Amino acid sequence: MAEGVLRARLPTAHIDSAGTGGWHLDDPPYPPAQTAARSRGYDISAQRARQVSVADFNRFDLILAMDRSNLADLKKLAPSGSGRQIADLALFLGPLTDGPQDVPDPYYTRDFNGALDLIEMAAAAWATRLG
The length of the chain in residues reads: 131
Segments forming the whole domain that contains residue 20: 2-130
The confidence score (pLDDT) of residue 82 equals: 55
Please give the Cα distance from 131 to 125 (Å, whole number).
10
More confident residue, 112 or 61: 112
The confidence score (pLDDT) of residue 61 equals: 87
Number of domains making up the chain? 1
Other C-beta atoms closer than 10 Å to the C-beta of 35 total: 12
CATH of residue 124: 3.40.50.2300
In this structure, what are the phi and psi dihedrals at residue 91, rounded to the nearest 5 degrees? -75, 140
How much is the pTM? Answer: 0.92
Q: In this predicted model, what pLDDT tens digit does every residue of 73-113 receive, in sequence order?
A: 999 988 876 555 555 889 999 998 788 899 999 999 999 99
The confidence score (pLDDT) of residue 84 equals: 53
